[in-house]
Each structure stands twice: as structure tokens, then as C-alpha cells.
Amino acid sequence: MPKPATRFVCTACGAAFAKWAGQCGACGAWNTLTEEVAPRAGPLASGAVVGGQAVPLVPLQGESEAQPRLASRIAELDRVLGGGFVQGSAVLVGGDPGIGKSTLLLQAAAALARAGRRVLYLSGEESVSQIRLRAARLGLAEAPVAVASVSALRDLLATLATGPRPDLAIVDSIQTVWLEEAGAAPGTVAQVRSAAAELIRAAKARDFALVLVGHVTKEGALAGPRVLEHLVDAVLYLEGDRGHVFRILRGVKNRFGATDEIGVFEMTARGLAEVANPSALFLAERRGNVSGSAVFAGVEGTRPVLVEIQALVSRRAGEGPARRAVVGWDQGRLSLLLAVLEARCGVSFGDRDVFLNVAGGLKVGEPAADLAVAAALLSALVDRPTDADCVFFGEVGLSGEVRMVGQAEARLKEAAKLGFATACLPKRVVGRGRALAVPEGLRLWEVGHLADLVASLASSDRRAGREGAHPRAERST
């Protein structure tokens, strides 16, 4: 019997090679090539089409039925999903070990089961006793959720095909599922890809919602090839620091809803609790009379969120290069902003160590945080607090100009709702677009160039800080 042909597949990008190498030639990752059995040539390898049947083609224009959804009764989870689980869809949930993925999904399963839905929780990592203990700890032991401990793909498919059609099936985790014919260890590229494809095919055939739990690598990406993310309909990441009680559920892909939507949870002894007003929670411990602090009016998906940006600037320790440490923001963006402050505004941080932190464990990725970060850095440098009742947002260009960002009205509305009196934002261009709707009582401090912000914070006139308004601020009408 001839030996089956093998190939080497990169676990980071899914590229295949005939020989092993230390570095992937496609993505450049090191030590990511694993051996697997090469797929056999199918009947279409010769180019002949035998036994196929042409499918009917329809015009693009036409009516489509609304996708039925299963609301989990967890508002933050339903927000990220776009309204709930869609029947016949596949959702991939990733996150660090112990971050709360299984806890959140067990809570969602219990809520749906109590609403009369048939829910299956199939675990390949924990035994039935372990799942029951966690359910009892969370107060979910009475929920009619069907539980099983299984990792063989054939057993999983047989379970999903037996009995009444389930409304939701959770497989925890996809890295533990194995198929004997794949000829590789569980968790490898071949096993993960084969198992996910078969499970998704079963979910679409029986029209039930499928949730796959995935591990993440040290870099924070889902383990296995990126093709796994292309197979599913939605990809959710559960983020957070174990030192914080907050957990952020972030949607990075969703074929049935908006992407970049977030749900905020708080880890408690009874599981993950929803946070209806994350802005108030992120600012709960803020002290407005401390230098190096600025409030950023951000937007995550469709939700405006206010977070505190903290900066610490100290004299360089020793003779080595100055340190740059960032938590919750892009370090490259910080280097760019420091260069703009030095080149365009004459403010140098070359002999200072700079530390930047986004309070609460939230990760901010939008360029609109540039102005808030600049305000926090300048405040820490001159040791003068910013206005405690002021929020900042705006993108800083390489020439030092401050550019307008999207959803400005939503940011202003959230700031006014939480009691802020002033908003520092880019200067509006006259004649471009409609007038900006400003909430009543909110003062605007318009900044056209970063030098204006530097001049304000470096000014010796402290009267504006005592009165709670900036000299440039204008009361909205």
C-alpha cells in the first residue's frame, strides 16, 4: 500500500508547502509549519465535469426573508450578535484561557433553555461533573440544558442528528474535536479545519445555531489557520485583563450585523454581569484634579463610550534610551504623536520616560483618541491637570492639524449625558456638511492645530481651570 503523501501547513496563515522550513514563506511566521496528510485528488482534478447539475441563476433584485433570531436575554451579547443568534449560522468565540468564554456561553445557554429552547452544550475539555459544578456555582443548575462530554467528531455529528432539532449547539472547544481520518493530532490545522467544516455543514443542514469556542495564541489571535474565521458567520473576541473585573466582548466579523460592536460585562461571583452604562463605570474611580489625565469620547461600533486616558512622564532613569510603555493603545501611534509634538509644536519628550494607560482595561484603536492622548501627555509634562469637566476627541495629522472624526454628535451627546460641560474637538470647516447638533449647555472648545492645545495647557493663566471652562470655549445655543 503506498504511503500517503504529506505536506506542511502554516498554523498562522494556512499556506501549504512541500517541505518543512523554519519560517513560513507566505506570512513570515517562525516555527509554525506542521505536517499533515495531503488531500487526495478529487474527480475534478482532470478538468472533466461528470455527474454535475447546473443550479438555477436568479437576479440580484428580489425579496429576501428576514433571518429568524434567538435572543439570549443577555442584552450585551445580543447587541454584539446584532439581535441574537441566527438559525443556521456559525459563531466563533475566542479569548484567553480563563477569561470567561465558557461562563458566558453557559449563561446564554441557560437563558435560552429557560425560554423553552432546546440547547446542547457539548464539551471536549470538561467532564459532565465539572460542567454541573460550574452551573451550580453560577446558579444555573435548574436550567434544562442538555450536556455531554464528547470530542470525537463522528460522535458529535451523531448527537446533533439524533432526536429533535436543537435550537442552539455549543461546542467547547473546536481544538479538542478530532477526526480519525484526518491523520493528525487534535488542535492541528487539518483537524480544526475538518471538524469546523463538518459541524458548520450539519448546522446549516438542520438549521440550528452553532457556537464554536476557540483558543487564542500568545499574540491574541485565534489558534489555527485564518481560514477558520472565513468558515464561520461571526467572530467574537472576549477581551480583558485578569487584574480587572471588566470583560469586553468585541465582534470583529458578523454577516448578520454590525462589526466592531462591543458588549461590556463585569466578572462577579455569579458569573458575568451586564454593564448597561460602561462610560459611567470606566470613569467611576477618576479623580479630576490629577495631572496626566484626560477623558476620551470614543465610539465602539455604534455605542459611544467615555474612557480615561492616563499618562505619566518622568525623567529618564539611567543612561539608556527613554522608555515608552503603552497599555490599551497602539505603541506606534504614541511614537507618531510624540514626533508630531516635537517637530510641529517644539515640545520634546526625548529625555523623558513616557507611560500611557487606558483605564479600565479597554483597548482603544480609533485615531480619534489622538487629541485626548496629547492632552494627557502635555498635562503630565507640565504637571497641570486638564479641565475635569472636559472631554477630548480628534485625529492629529503629521503636520499637527486636528482633523474631524465620525459620529461627533453621538460623542457630544454621551458627554452631556454624563454631566461634562466642555468638549475639546477639531475646528469645524465652514460650509462643509450640515451644522453640528450640540446638546444644550455643552461648551465647545475648537482646536485647529495641536499648537493651540499646547499653548492652552502651558499658559500661566489658570483662571479657566478654576472656572471650569476654557477661554476658547463657546456655549452652544
**Same domain, residue pair 264 and 299:** no
**Same domain, residue pair 17 and 88:** no
Q: What is the mean pLDDT of residues 421-435?
A: 76
Q: What is the mean pLDDT of residues 328-337?
A: 94
464 within domain boundaries: no
**Same domain, residue pair 352 and 220:** no
**Same domain, residue pair 100 and 203:** yes
pLDDT, tens only, 347-357: 999 889 999 99
Percent of the chain with pLDDT over 70: 88
Q: What is the mean pLDDT of residues 164-190?
A: 85
From 276, 308, 336, the end of a domain falls on 276
Identify the pLDDT of residue 149.
Answer: 95
Identify the pLDDT of residue 3.
Answer: 64
**Same domain, residue pair 400 and 422:** yes
Identify the pLDDT of residue 449.
Answer: 94
Cell of 339: 514626533
Domain ranges, residue 83: 69-276
First and final C-alpha spacing in the chain: 85
**Same domain, residue pair 134 and 231:** yes
Q: What is the CATH number of the domain that holds 245?
A: 3.40.50.300
User: Does the pTM exceed 0.85?
Assistant: no
**Same domain, residue pair 211 and 352:** no
Would you list the DSSP string of 415-466?
HHHTT--EEEEEPPPTTSSSPPP--TT-EEEEESBHHHHHHHHH-S--HHHH
Instruction: Quote the CA–CA distance of 305 and 299 in Å, as a whole number.
Output: 6
Closest by alpha carbon to 225, among 6, 4, 7, 16? 16
pLDDT, tens only, 58-70: 898 888 777 788 9
196 within domain boundaries: yes
pLDDT, tens only, 71-123: 999 999 999 999 999 999 999 998 888 889 999 999 999 999 999 999 999 99
From 228, 261, 276, the end of a domain falls on 276
15 within domain boundaries: yes
Q: What is the CATH number of the domain that holds 319?
A: 3.30.230.10
43 within domain boundaries: no
* Domain count of the fold of the chain: 3
Beta carbons within 8 Å of 435's beta carbon, 6+ residues apart? none
**Same domain, residue pair 373 and 420:** yes
Helix (H) or strand (E) holding 251: strand 246-254
**Same domain, residue pair 320 and 265:** no
Q: What is the mean pLDDT of residues 368-385?
A: 95
Identify the pLDDT of residue 446.
Answer: 93
Query: Taking 60 as the threshold, does the pLDDT of residue 465 lie above it?
Result: no
Query: Taking 60 as the threshold, does the pLDDT of residue 49 lie above it?
Result: no
**Same domain, residue pair 73 and 162:** yes
135 within domain boundaries: yes
